[in-house]
Amino acid sequence: MIDRTQIVHQNFIDRVTHADLPHIYSNISLEENNLNSCNLIELFESQVLSRQLDRTAKKLQAQGEGFYTIGSSGHENMAAVAAAFRLTDMAFLHYRDAAFQIQRSKQLPGQTPAWDMLLGFTASADDPISGGRHKVLGSLPLFIPPQTSTIASHLPKSVGTAYSIGLAKRRNPKHKVLPDDSVVLCSFGDASANHSTALGAINTASWTSYQNVPMPLVFICEDNGIGISTRTPEGWIEAAFSARPGLKYFSCNGLDVLDTYQTAREVARYVRKTRKPVFLHLRCVRLYGHAGADTPSAYLSRQEIETAERKDPLLHTAAVLIETDILSSTQILDIYHETGERLSRIAAEAIKRPKLTTPEQVMASLIPPALTTNSRIKSDPEQRQTLFGRDIGEMKKPQHMARLISWALADLMLEHEQIILAGEDVGPKGGVYNVTSKLHSRFGANRVINTLLDEQSILGLAIGLAHNGFLPIPEIQFLAYLHNAEDQLRGEAATLSFFSGGQYTNPMIIRIAGLGYQKGFGGHFHNDNSLAVLRDIPGLIIACPGNGEDAVKMLRECVRLALEEQRVIVFIEPIALYMTRDLHSSGDGLWTFDYPVPPNSAPISLGEIGLYGDGKELAIISYANGYYLSRQAEKILSTKHAIQIRLIDIRWLAPLPEKAILNAIQGCENLLIVDECRRTGSQSEALMSLLHDKINPGTRLLRITAEDSFIPLGKAATVTLPDRDNIVQAALELTR
């Protein structure tokens, strides 16, 4: 097999040696570009280091010491983009942007990019960004958060981060991380630009800017004309992105260091001044294959491969250096060779550095480090009185869950200025179920953000806000609509701490209205009863209250967990219980609760379960609607059948409060799990296996769950779900 890395390497040497250099595209002088010879040499050195890192990575892979090679060759002019921006302009980078990171590292003394990146290539536990968990670009001091391999998934959070800068400027909170005049950079490939995630994010940036809301964001499309083997149609990127409302289009020849630098400077000036988003189209080439074992000759003609190789941007920079008499061809080759040799020496050391060897080491950053912050704050009673007004009187009467959550949100927002609510219709309308009612008028549009209709953008906004020190509480209107944005939670928010060794975190509480049993308004999409996609996300906390009082106390604990322990939390609100007032009979009011007024009421801690009764004959383990129905069943079982029951509301679905559950069932002869979610993938599976392993022989165990079905409309809406009567029936079967 022909080694194109070697060919590109040899071409560079031969063409510099024989002065066979490309025509210089840009006719701007260095002075016009505000560059001096040192700057240009520095850029060239960054480019060479990036190129030689690709070569070293290949060698390491051949030795079995390097992993996951995806190169930057052909994209080295991202160094010129880095040079045009500030250190504190947070950058969400394409995986080919080693040159950007190397160049940016020159803005901060004491950086060692070659050593750092080689530790990443060799998956060493010493890798300063991911600690050996992935080959990612990224650095805390360089304001480069690491990105996942999922293409385009970083665009929504770049939009969120850019939005957060304007928000922080308007509110000037103590916690802000990014300077008011900073901007955000977000780069990606031309194939990635077609991804619905990218298009959604670009649309959100345009939509925001169209309304003159600050969006200081530079999308950089590194157009090398191909995505793995699929070509981007000629002219497509310009045709698709040059005329979007609110988004200014710039383009540059990404082979040419001067043109790239000049355009990037123009972009920087524009975006910093206008606070409007830009689409920078940087045309470049991809040298070698896509990554690793990809062989471009399988899908490109030899002529196409050689044409790309002839456009090598390093040759262009060499041409500028020689033509401007800054360096001779010998000096250029010296830099090139010396860099390669230096990297070989560094790589030889890097491979000796420790690797991750135990599950504990790998998992150490799944959960972010706890902070020393004490998040308990007492709000000013007078301010609270003014904020709540007449509601203070209402607080003396028991209320349903929707109202209690709404008050809890208001109290939490009063206590913690960093909390921002965001979601579809959460503003003046107060959400579909009035849970955010009055919050917009009480706290204003800067704290209760009515977003556009795009769940990926909502979660991206949350991640971006968290990058700038806010505590976002985004809302997903219905559980079924989480799924088209799932990756923003599963692949992005939940993995950030893991892939950054706990250095970058994005604490948040995602409120999701969900589960079944709604009367009157229904169908599957408003009664989604599966939490399976959340249950297996490492490190994620899932809270699911079964009544309004618990909801308030658990929400407060979630805010503490986010502020003090930087956790990502999903808070599932059972829609059918939002307005429920009665338990056994109409008008009994037994499912309304007093508002636990802060600061005197204690929160419900993570892992603390709810217990009702202390019977020994039967324990029912449930949550949410299942718990509510079990309470109804309990009355029938105890009064009509004299069965002594205890009821357990597990409240926290992940991590499962195993110890507390096992303690609570001690001494019980029969166990019944009531799970309103679909049998497959439901919580009951985890409970069954826990109990199967841990209970005494002889203890009888049964579960009832929803059928593996979607939920239909009308009267049939509950026929696939557990109900009071089949709980009673199952309990009788178990105990008789």
Ligand X SMILES: Cc1ncc(C[n+]2csc(CCOP(=O)(O)OP(=O)(O)O)c2C)c(N)n1
Residue ranges that bind ligand X, judged by CB under 6 A: 96, 149-151, 188-192, 222, 224, 226-228, 286, 290
Q: Considering beta carbons, is residue 61 or 150 the nearer one to ligand X?
A: 150
Q: Considering beta carbons, is residue 226 or 621 the nearer one to ligand X?
A: 226
How far apart CA 337 and CA 340 sit, in angstroms, is 5
Q: How far is the CB of 70 from ligand X (least distance, A)?
A: 7
Q: Considering beta carbons, is residue 93 or 671 the nearer one to ligand X?
A: 93
Q: How far is the CB of 219 from ligand X (least distance, A)?
A: 13
Q: Considering beta carbons, is residue 77 or 527 the nearer one to ligand X?
A: 77
Strands 541-543 and 652-654: antiparallel
Q: Do 26 and 259 touch, CB atoms closer than 8 A?
A: yes
Q: Is the dihedral of CA 151, 155, 158, 160 positive or negative?
A: negative
Q: How far is the CB of 556 from ligand X (least distance, A)?
A: 37
Q: Is 210 exposed, middle or buried (0-12, 13-18, 19+ CB in 10 A)?
A: middle
Q: Considering beta carbons, is residue 409 or 485 the nearer one to ligand X?
A: 485
How far apart CA 683 and CA 457 sit, in angstroms, is 29
Q: Considering beta carbons, is residue 282 or 677 the nearer one to ligand X?
A: 282
How far apart CA 702 and CA 722 sit, in angstroms, is 13
Q: How far is the CB of 53 from ligand X (least distance, A)?
A: 16
Q: How far is the CB of 199 from ligand X (least distance, A)?
A: 13
Q: Which of 708, 702, 650 is nearest to 679 (CA)?
A: 708
Q: How far is the CB of 350 from ligand X (least distance, A)?
A: 25
Q: Considering beta carbons, is residue 227 or 539 the nearer one to ligand X?
A: 227
With a CB cutoff of 8 Å and minimum separation 6, the contacts of 91 are: 82, 85, 100, 104, 142, 143, 144, 184, 185, 186, 187
Q: How far is the CB of 231 from ligand X (least distance, A)?
A: 10
Q: How far is the CB of 447 from ligand X (least distance, A)?
A: 33
Query: CA of 502: how far to CAs of 150, 498, 566, in Å?
Result: 20, 6, 10
Measured between its terminal Cα atoms, the distance across the chain in Å is 74
With a CB cutoff of 8 Å and minimum separation 6, the contacts of 512 are: 475, 476, 478, 479, 482, 570, 571, 572, 573
Q: How far is the CB of 190 from ligand X (least distance, A)?
A: 4
How far apart CA 458 and CA 187 sit, in angstroms, is 20
Q: Is the dihedral of CA 615, 619, 621, 622 positive or negative?
A: negative
Give all strands of the β-sheet with 91-92 in edge-to-edge order.
91-92, 184-189, 217-223, 278-283, 248-253
CA 490 to the chain's CA centroid: 7
Residue-wise over 519-544: b if at least 16 C-beta within 10 A, else e? eeebeeebbbbbbeebbebebbbbbb
Q: Which of 316, 304, 302, 281 is nearest to 187 (CA)?
A: 281
Q: How far is the CB of 150 from ligand X (least distance, A)?
A: 5
Q: Considering beta carbons, is residue 188 or 336 the nearer one to ligand X?
A: 188
Q: Do 400 and 578 touch, CB atoms closer than 8 A?
A: yes
Q: Considering beta carbons, is residue 96 or 651 the nearer one to ligand X?
A: 96
Q: How far is the CB of 228 from ligand X (least distance, A)?
A: 5
Q: Considering beta carbons, is residue 107 or 148 the nearer one to ligand X?
A: 148
How far apart CA 113 and CA 96 sit, in angstroms, is 15
Q: How far is the CB of 299 from ligand X (least distance, A)?
A: 13
What stretches of 264-418 adopt beta strand conformation (E)?
Answer: 278-283
486 φ/ψ angles, rounded to the nearest 5 degrees? -55, -40
Q: How far is the CB of 62 from ligand X (least distance, A)?
A: 22
Q: Considering beta carbons, is residue 294 or 608 the nearer one to ligand X?
A: 294
Q: Considering beta carbons, is residue 61 or 324 the nearer one to ligand X?
A: 61
Q: How far is the CB of 279 from ligand X (least distance, A)?
A: 15
Q: Considering beta carbons, is residue 191 or 552 the nearer one to ligand X?
A: 191
Q: Considering beta carbons, is residue 147 or 263 the nearer one to ligand X?
A: 147
Quote the tokens at residue 396. 């003396």
Q: Considering beta carbons, is residue 314 or 402 the nearer one to ligand X?
A: 314
Residue-wise over 38-62: b if at least 16 C-beta within 10 A, else e? ebbbbbbbbbbbbbbbbbbbbebbe
Q: How far is the CB of 503 from ligand X (least distance, A)?
A: 23
Q: How far is the CB of 187 from ligand X (least distance, A)?
A: 9
CA 235 to the chain's CA centroid: 32
Quote the tokens at residue 727. 């709980």
Q: Which of 155, 153, 271, 267 is nearest to 209 (CA)?
A: 271
Nearest-CB residue for ligand X: 189
Q: Considering beta carbons, is residue 192 or 720 the nearer one to ligand X?
A: 192
With a CB cutoff of 8 Å and minimum separation 6, the contacts of 137 are: 93, 95, 97, 98, 100, 101, 117, 129, 144, 146, 147
Q: Considering beta carbons, is residue 150 or 324 the nearer one to ligand X?
A: 150
Q: Do 252 and 259 touch, CB atoms closer than 8 A?
A: yes
Q: Which residues pair with 219 in a beta bridge?
A: 186, 279
With a CB cutoff of 8 Å and minimum separation 6, the contacts of 212 are: none
Quote the tokens at residue 418. 């960093």
Give all strands of the β-sheet with 568-574 in edge-to-edge order.
448-450, 419-423, 471-476, 508-514, 568-574, 541-543, 652-654
Q: How far is the CB of 536 from ligand X (least distance, A)?
A: 19
Q: How far is the CB of 152 from ligand X (least distance, A)?
A: 6
Q: Considering beta carbons, is residue 233 or 655 the nearer one to ligand X?
A: 233
State the virtual CA torsion across 604, 547, 436, 275 in degrees, nearest 10: 40
Whether cis (ω within 30° of 0) applies to the bond prior to 146 is no
Quote the tokens at residue 415. 């206590």
